[in-house]
Structure formats: structure tokens, C-alpha cells
Amino acid sequence: MTPFGVYVHWPFCESKCPYCDFNSHVQDAVDQARWARALIADLAHYAADTQDRTVTTVFFGGGTPSLMAPETVAAVIQGIRDLWPCAEDLEVSLEANPSSAEIAAFPDLKAAGVTRLSVGVQSFDDAALSALGRRHDAQAARRALVGARDHFEEFSFDLIYARPEQTKDKWRQELREALTFAGPHLSFYQLTIESGTPFHKDGVKAAEGELGAALFDITQEVLGEAGLPAYEISNHARPGHECRHNLNIWRGWDYVGVGPGAHGRLALSGDGAVRDWGTHQVHSPERWLSLVESKGHGTAKRRLLDDGDRAEERVIMGLRLTEGIDRTRFQAQTGRDVLTLINPSKLAYAVGAGYVDLDKTRIAATAEGRLRLNSLLASLLAT
Amino acid sequence: MRFPFATARRRCYITPAMTTDLSHIRNFAIIAHIDHGKSTLADRLIQMTGGLTEREMSEQVLDSMDIERERGITIKAQTVRLDYTAKDGEKYVLNLIDTPGHVDFTYEVSRSLAACEGSLLVVDATQGVEAQTLANVYLALDVDHEIIPVLNKIDLPAAETERVKAQIEDVIGLDTSDALEISAKTGIGIDSVLEAVVTRLPAPKGDPAAPLSALLVDSWYDPYLGVMILVRVVDGTLKRGQRIRMMANDAAYQVDQVGYLRPKPTKVDELGPGEVGYFTAAIKRVADTNVGDTITDDRKPAAKPLAGFKPSVPVVFCGLFPTDAGDYEDLRDSLEKLHLNDASFHFEAESSAALGLGFRCGFLGLLHLEIVQERLEREFDLDLITTAPSVVYKVYRTDGVMRELHNPVDMPDPSAIDYIEEPWIKASIMVPDEYLGAVLQLCTDRRGEQENLTYVGNRALVVYRLPLNEIVFDFYDRLKSVSRGYASFDYELEGYREGDLAKVSILVNLEPVDALAFIVHKSHAEARGRQICEKLKDLIPRQLFKIAIQAAIGGKVIARETLGAMRKDVTSKCYGGDITRKKKLLEKQKKGKKRMRQFGNVEIPQSAFLAALKTGE
């Protein structure tokens, strides 16, 4: 079955974290029923053009989607089932925060149809959690993970590392604690300081360069030994327990994105040809809501991507994966060989330096190559 | 060539004067080291003889170039005609021709001195004789000057008048029994200076009836009057409307205007023998006038030119590149404008793979180079990169042909070279004896050969022969540092000698960086090559691939550094919604590459090479 994902963005948080530059907003009262109707309307708009697809994965991201009332989640999942045929093993992931109210809602979320929970733990160190502006402490994080394990077979949690003043030893220690709570999946993000965030304004410095590289290496080593190898730059799983939704996006498959600021990628036929479209919903929650209610959809932009654009995206995404890019699949998706996008002499240098593995069936960045992927991509995709 | 400042001389005043009788003229120069008080004394003399009012004096100071005031050096001629009534009741005309006094302008100094019959040797009574003073005294003696020793700053408690007098006698061999003791700052003894000029310096000689023969002392560009020429008439008269001829470049002109500088231009009808003044003649470019040339009457020319003419020849070359490639046209326009006033620097377009488009420029010396560079940056607001200065080598090829080499990039293949000659200098260094050891070591390290070593009190005078390319490398800075600023230094060019020289290329990933190539004695090649490789290693940002940085002579690598690959460069998070952001980053990276130079498998930002040149030796 050709994978087809649905992404639902819930833009609200209880508070804004000082490192976060995502589309998240703090709002006292959210009219859950109104938002559920609007999200379903936005979905229906895309469903009209994609009736031939079968939805294989759903992902609730944010913001903090665990702040959605379980009834809202249930309504949106039901809406998806009403609009498209859905795979029998439909994966429904939802991002959750470890607050007690949210932990209490885990059984209801499961009942609503969520199959996979991803908990935003970020750290097991109270001082670090407070520096990161999180509202929970390490004890709440541990409770949330026990709760997640009790209710979900598939669950994951996130940690943020390369924090200011983080040492290699402390990170090893934190990883060991993480493993005692780990399910089949984990994500580790190095702190990046994004412009416009309070961290940026305050001049907070993430561990970079040599230390950043060492912390990355430690993560690979400890998780590899624990049987949770990286399948993507920041994502680790026991084989077979990857997040299928994200995996499909990295593999270059289509997805619908609804809710404020959500992006989507759709190949649509028309005039006897199949063309790739990039879709983008209105960013601001209020404006998105009023647009959906007045026009029936929240789309700000639907942009035709030229062949090269979408193919280049697939290279950027595909080389993030340990498995790399399946050349046959790429050919089927884009109608061209992946090597036509890559500068041959730069590729030769990259292979020679041990950054890229290439054979007839696939092209992949090695562990060393993935560690330097931004520069590697800039080099390989140079015309 | 000097850098006369034109605006102060713009307005003209008409004085219906006759030419002055030879016996009532005195032409003199002032020889002094930086800071020994030459400008202050000159200002005093002008003030006392009523050349300028108090207000005009300060205006003139304000008008002079920033660089001159900051560095305390004279880089323009300050020529002034003073009217002085001596104690004998007679009226005299005193022409003071101030000189640049720097080794880069030695030839120009010698021509200014040749226009005079005598000099005042001004020595700071608290400091004593310096190397630069010595060099200029020798120039004055070469043109048979009568020299009056003047001890300045005698009002200061640190003045050691007697000791300095003894030093002048020892080092220069001048009788100091009737040396003048003054303070230009307070005015003590200034009248004695004017009186001594009249009574102790000889009057000029000359024949009013002979064909015109005048020495071209200086020239500059005035935005209103065009090219102005400073002359000293030797024989005959220079008249308004006269048709004159420049003997060296054989060009004829009609004289428009003749005058004195007091220091404002003051028009007269003619200049007679022994007189100093200016003329204009619809000459378009300063480059059409040569310091030291002889000006004569086109219809009744002198039989032979005055002795000592030499065309100006650049001795130090370097590349000047705009930091921002978009400024190339501005740089060209600015060089052309500067050249209007200073024809002694040469420039031609040059293209460098590492630095882009720029100019190869030739200068009279390192100070001249710095002055031009600084004027370009200040007056024309340009941000410049200067490649390492190079001297002029004579490359004798195996086919017997000799070529002068101005740019290391043009060095032929070693197999085509028979031998290479390099310019040598004779350097005089004065240094307190506590630093002598360090100075001798420095000279030895720089391939110096000791000629002479004498003591005056606790100060040593060392004379060394040294290759000029060792001086342009970083000799001044090193000398200053090993002597804590107490050593003074001067030199004269001596000629060419064969040297065991080689071109060292700097290679990045096996590709030469043209702008960093240099020529050096083989004994220093490895150390200098290593120095540049290490510097580049620090300046080049780590790239995706490791980078080899090498110094090589021909095919032989003499130094090598390896810059490891960058350790980590990856965006942690990239999901469906992040792809747009990721692509923007990628586009930015691609755009950035336009300012990069390709070296094998890596692109290196031009800024790394600029920094390598900017941080200097």
C-alpha cells in the first residue's frame, strides 16, 4: 500500500518554552468543539482531491496536542475515517506533555484511537528542566513515562541535549536513566538557538563544535548498545518500531497537513499529468479558524513544485535516514535517477571521504556523513 | 615626488617686483629627524618675517593632511619666500625649501637640497643625532652645502647641549663652536637663526645673461591652476609668456603664470637667477613633469642640462585589492585621481584567482606605499587588501635574457632561470647600547653584513649591508620591537647582487593561492612557508573535507599543515513542516558559495585570504 499520512497541528500550549520557535500559542480558553469542526472541515477540503488514497498514518503535533480534549481527538480521528479509507493498522501518534492532567487523560486518548504516544520529557534533570522553561519536573516525567508504558505499546519520548554547560559524563548518565524508562522509540534533539526566541535574545549558547559532536557520538554509542540504533539523525528505535508517519515523510511520500501553519505535500493528477503540490495553512490560529469557517478551508498557499524542487526535498529528507534513499523508489516517485540531482565530482569526493555509501540500489549518508549533513547536502546539491 | 597640498595656495596676489639681486638671496633647507622640531621652527621663521598672520598659520595647519600630522612627518614640500631685514639694515630674500626627509624620497630630497646653498641641521638637544639626520646631512654635503648646526629644545630640563654638540662633531664632523641654541617652541634664539642664514650661508651664483636653466624641484596639481611647478632658477630668467622646454622629456610649453610662494602664490613677471618660485604652463598631468629635470628656453636652450637628473623608479611593489569586489571601479578612479598629484607611484590592473580584480602598484618605498594606501582608504573611503610587498628582482634566464620581476606570480620556472639578482641597501642604525646585541642579531638573521660599528656616548652607530627584501618583510617592526622603539634607521640603495632566491608558492589542496606567493632567500624559505601555512590553518574555517595547506618551491613541498574536516554540522529536527526552512538554509549556503574560491573539493571564503594578508607579517 502506498503510504499516505495526515498531519494535524494543535497550536496551543500552557506556556511557551524559551527555545521553541514552533507555531505555538498560549490561550486561556479554547472552544474544543469549534476547533474539532474546523479541523475536520480543513481535512474535508483536502479529502476532495485525494479520494483515491488510503490513510496509513496520522500524527497530532503542536503546540501541545495532549491539551486537546480526548473527545476532540476522537472526533478528528473519526472525521479522518469518514473522509478516507484507512489502513487496518492505522498508526495514530500524538505528542503529550508530562503534566498530571495530561497523564490522567492517557486512557481516554487511547480509547479515542491514539496508538502511539510521544512524551516531551526533554530532561531528567530538574535544574535543566527549569532552565528550559518546562513546567514539569523530573518526577512528573518519570510518572508520565510509566503511564505511557501502561497504556501504549508504542511510545516514545524526547530529550534535548547539548544544553549550556552539559558535560559528556552528565549526558551519559542522563542517557542511562532514559534507557530505564525507554519503550521501543526515543528522540534526541540537540538544542539549537533559533532567532526570535528568548534563548536567542538572552545569548544562550548551545554546546557546539567538538563538544556537540562528542555528545552526538555518545548518543549513537549508548543507544546502539541498547538495541535502539538511529534510523534518522535524531530518532532511535528497535527495528520495526520506527514512527511510520515520519519515516514516510523522510521517504518522500505524500501527506496532508491541516491546522494553523501546517505544511503538506501532494502529488495530484490533472490535465493528464501528475504534479507535485506544496500546501501551507494560515499561520495564526485565529485567522486560520475564521478562514476555515468562512471559506471551508485554511489553506494560505497551494504551490506547484517543479520536478527538481520536490526531488531535491526527497534527497534532503532521504539522506537523514540511516537506510538512505532507495533508488528504485526514488525513480518511481520522481521519474528520475537520484544521481541526476547530485554533482558527480562532489559525490566522488564524499564517497572517498567516507561520508556517502553508494550502490546500485541505494545512496546513503554514513554516520560521519549524517553528522555533517548540512554541509554535505550543500556540496552534493551544488550545481 | 611629494604631496603638496594645493588649497592653501589657491589665491594669488600680485606684487610688481623686480628680480632680486643675487647677493641679497639666501636659499636654505632644514635637516632634522622626526619630532626634532623642524615644522615648529619653519612656522616660527614664517611668523617672525610676517609671511602669515596668526590666524592664517592655524588655518594652514588645519589644511595639511591628517597623515602628516598624525605621523609627524612631512610628505609635502613647504616652500616659502621670506622677506627679512638683517641687522646690517639690508633687505634679504630667504627661500626656505622644506624637504620630506624620508628615505623613500631620498632623490626628491637631494633635488630640494640641490636648489639651496646651505642647510640648518636641527638636532633635538634631548635626543641627539638620529640615523635619518645622518643620511640627509650626507646628501647635503654631497651638494656642497654650508651647514649650520642648530640645537633645539634647549628649554627642556633633559637638554644635554654639550653632549649633543660633541656627538655632532664626532659623528658628522661638523664644527659646533658656533652652533645655535634655540627653542622653536618658546621662540628663544629664532632671530639668531635668521641672522645666521644671512651671514653664514653663501649667496647663490648665476648669470642673468645666460640662457635659462632652472631646476624642477617639485610639482603638484592644483584644481584651479592645474599643474604647478616649483623651480630654482640657476641662470637666465623665467618670464610670463616665455616658451620653455623640459629637457628630460623634451616637451615645450608656454608659461602662463610666474610667482613666489609666501606661502600663498604671489604673481610676478619673472624669476631671476638664484630665485625660487612657481610657474604654470597648461600642463595637464603631474606625470608630465619630472623632479630634477632642467627647464630651459625653447628658442635659446642651455647647452646642457643641470647635473643629477634621474627618472623616478619604484622599488617596492604590491597588489592592492578592494575588499569588496564591487569597489574595483572606485579603486581605479581613486588611483587615477591620486596619480594626478603623485606621479611616482605606478599601477596596472591585476587579476588574482584568490582575491579577484585589483592593481599591481609600484612605490618609492614602504612609507610611500603606506601613504598611498592610507590616502585611498581615508580620502576615497575604500577598504583595501595589500599583498606582501615585493622588491624588484633581476631574473637572468638561461637564454641570456634579463627580466625585471615585479610580481612573484610572474617568476619563470626554476629550470629556465640561470640566476637571480636582488637589490641591496646600506643601512645606518643608531641604537642605545643596551639594545645593540638584539639589533646585531636581527641584522645577522636578515642576512646582513656588518660594515662599521662606532660608539657615541652610550649610543652605537652600526652600518650594515642588507638585502632590501629582508627590509620590506618586517624589518621595521622587528627593529622597533627589539629596541623598544629606541633605534633609528635609514638606508640607501646600493645596487644588485646575486642571491640564492626562490619563489615559495602556497598551495591549498594542491592549488596555488597566487596572492600569497613570495620570493625569499632559500635559507628562510621553510620558516616563512611554515608561518603562512600555520596562519592559514587558523584562518580557514573547517570545511566538509580536510584541507592540505602546503608551501612549496617548484614541485618540492617545504612545509605542510592539515586542517581537519568540520566535526558536526547538522540540523537536529527536520519533519514535514521543517522542509521549507531546511531548503532556505540550503539556498543560503549555496549563495554563500559565490564569495568562495574553489580549491579542489572545498570552497574557501575569500575572507580567509584577506585576513591572512591583513594580519600582516
pLDDT, one tens digit per residue, over B381-423 is: 888 888 889 999 999 999 999 999 999 999 998 899 999 999 9
Q: Which residues of A touch B569 (CB under 8 A)?
A: 371-375
Q: Which residues of B touch A346 (CB under 8 A)?
A: 601
What whole-number distance in Å separates Cα of residue B78 and Cα of residue B510?
Answer: 53
Check if A247 contacts B (Cβ < 8 Å): no
Give the model's confidence band at B63: pLDDT under 50 very low, under 70 low, under 90 confident, else very high.
very low
| pLDDT confidence of residue B61 | 45
CB-count burial class (<10 Å; 0-12, 13-18, 19+) for B594: exposed
Contact: A371, B601; criterion CB under 8 Å: no
Q: What is the mean pLDDT of residues B589-597?
A: 70
Contact: B570, A377; criterion CB under 8 Å: no
Question: Buried b / exposed e across B448-458, counting CB within 10 Å, b at 16+?
Answer: beeeeeeebee
What whole-number distance in Å separates Cα of residue A238 and Cα of residue A223?
Answer: 10
The answer to whether the beta carbons of residues A266 and A277 sit under 8 Å apart is yes
Q: A215: nearest CA in chain B?
A: B568
> Which of residues B554 and B78 earns the better pLDDT score?
B554
| Residue linked to cell 637640497 | B113
Contacting A residues, span 296-335, partner chain B, CB-CB under 8 Å: 312-313, 316-317, 320
Which residues does B281 contact at the CB level (< 8 Å), separation at least 6? B227, B229, B244, B253, B254, B255, B256
**B374, pLDDT greater than 90:** no
Contact: B590, A372; criterion CB under 8 Å: no
Q: What is the mean pLDDT of residues A255-265?
A: 96
Query: What are the tens digits of pLDDT across the range B96-110?
Result: 987 766 767 888 888
Q: Which residues of B touch A371 (CB under 8 A)?
A: 567-570
Check if B601 contacts A (Cβ < 8 Å): yes
| pLDDT confidence of residue B73 | 47
Q: Which residues of A touch B605 (CB under 8 A)?
A: none
Q: Please list the helix, strand and coil fractions of chain A in percent, rounded to the nearest 5, in that order.
A: 45, 25, 30
> Which of residues B426 and B340 earns the better pLDDT score?
B426
H-type helices in B510-560, by residue range? 522-539
Q: Which residues of A touch B593 (CB under 8 A)?
A: 378, 382
What whole-number distance in Å separates Cα of residue A258 and Cα of residue A268?
Answer: 17
Which residues does B450 contact at the CB level (< 8 Å), separation at least 6? B440, B443, B462, B463, B464
Which helix (H) or strand (E) segment holds residue B161: the answer is: helix B161-171
Check if A163 contacts B (Cβ < 8 Å): no
Contact: B545, A370; criterion CB under 8 Å: no
Contact: B601, A257; criterion CB under 8 Å: no
Contact: B573, A189; criterion CB under 8 Å: yes
Q: What is the mean pLDDT of residues A281-289?
A: 96
| pLDDT confidence of residue A273 | 86
| pLDDT confidence of residue B240 | 95
Choose from A266-275, B335-344, B522-531 the range with maximum mean pLDDT: B522-531
Percent of chain A with pLDDT over 90: 87
The answer to whether the beta carbons of residues B436 and B460 sit under 8 Å apart is yes
Choose from A245-254, B11-20, B471-480 the range with maximum mean pLDDT: A245-254
Q: How far is CA A209 from CA A205, A379, B335, in A?
A: 12, 19, 44
Query: What are the tens digits of pLDDT across the range A316-366?
Result: 999 999 999 999 999 999 999 999 999 999 999 999 999 999 999 999 999
Contact: B576, A265; criterion CB under 8 Å: yes
Check if B205 contacts A (Cβ < 8 Å): no
**Least confident residue range of A31-45, A176-190, B258-272, B593-607:** B593-607
| pLDDT confidence of residue B18 | 62
Q: Which of A310, A374, A383 should one mutate to test binding to chain B, selecting the residue with the greatest count of B CBs within 10 A?
A: A374
| pLDDT confidence of residue B7 | 34
CATH of A309-380, one of 3.40.50.11540, 3.40.50.800, 1.10.10.920, 3.60.15.10: 1.10.10.920
- pTM, full prediction: 0.72
Contacting A residues, span 191-220, partner chain B, CB-CB under 8 Å: 192, 208-210, 212-213, 216
| pLDDT confidence of residue B75 | 46
**B189, pLDDT greater than 70:** yes
Contact: B567, A246; criterion CB under 8 Å: no
**Beta-carbon contacts below 8 Å between A and B:** 101
Q: Which residues of B touch A370 (CB under 8 A)?
A: 570
**B16, pLDDT greater than 90:** no
| pLDDT confidence of residue B550 | 96
Check if B15 contacts A (Cβ < 8 Å): no
What whole-number distance in Å separates Cα of residue B376 and Cα of residue B386?
Answer: 12
| Residue linked to cell 500500500 | A1
Second-level CATH architecture of A4-247 = Alpha-Beta Barrel (3.20)
**B202, pLDDT greater than 90:** yes
Query: Of the candidates A209, A262, A349, which has its C-beta nearest B567's C-beta?
Result: A209
Residue range(s) in chain A whose domain bears CATH number 3.20.20.70: 4-247
| pLDDT confidence of residue B320 | 93
Q: What is the mean pLDDT of residues B174-198?
A: 94
**A369, pLDDT greater than 90:** yes
Give the model's confidence band at B608: pLDDT under 50 very low, under 70 low, under 90 confident, else very high.
confident
Give the model's confidence band at B76: pLDDT under 50 very low, under 70 low, under 90 confident, else very high.
low
Q: B571: nearest CA in chain A?
A: A374
| pLDDT confidence of residue B65 | 52
Q: Which residues of A touch B601 (CB under 8 A)?
A: 345-346, 349, 379
Query: What are the tens digits of pLDDT across the range B131-184?
Result: 888 888 888 988 999 999 999 999 999 999 999 999 899 888 899 999 999 999
Query: Of the candidates B572, B583, B589, which has its C-beta nearest A234's C-beta?
Result: B572
Q: Which of B510, B542, B544, B599 should one mutate to test binding to chain A, selecting the residue with the greatest count of A CBs within 10 A?
A: B544
Beta bridge partners, B14, equal: B267
Query: What are the tens digits of pLDDT across the range B234-293?
Result: 999 999 999 999 999 889 999 999 999 887 889 999 999 999 999 999 998 888 898 899
> Which of residues A225 and B54 earns the better pLDDT score?
A225
| pLDDT confidence of residue B53 | 62
Q: B578: nearest CA in chain A?
A: A263
Contacting B residues, span 567-586, partner chain A, CB-CB under 8 Å: 567-577, 579-580, 582-583, 585-586
Query: Of the candidates A5, A317, A379, which has its C-beta nearest B579's C-beta?
Result: A317
Residue range(s) in chain A whose domain bears CATH number 1.10.10.920: 309-380
| pLDDT confidence of residue B338 | 86
Angstroms from A105 CA to nearest CA on chain B: 26
Query: Of the candidates B571, B575, B585, which has its C-beta nearest A246's C-beta?
Result: B575
Dihedral (Cα; A135, A138, A142, A147), 10-degree rounding = -10
**B312, pLDDT greater than 80:** no
> Which of residues B158 and B6 earns the better pLDDT score?
B158
Angstroms from B547 CA to nearest CA on chain A: 12
Which residues does B588 contact at the CB level (< 8 Å), separation at least 6? none
| pLDDT confidence of residue B158 | 92
Q: B603: nearest CA in chain A?
A: A379
Contact: B583, A312; criterion CB under 8 Å: yes
**A197, pLDDT greater than 80:** yes
Query: What are the tens digits of pLDDT across the range A293-324?
Result: 999 999 999 999 987 899 999 999 999 999 99
Contacting A residues, span 261-280, partner chain B, CB-CB under 8 Å: 261-265, 278, 280
Contact: B590, A381; criterion CB under 8 Å: yes
| pLDDT confidence of residue B380 | 87
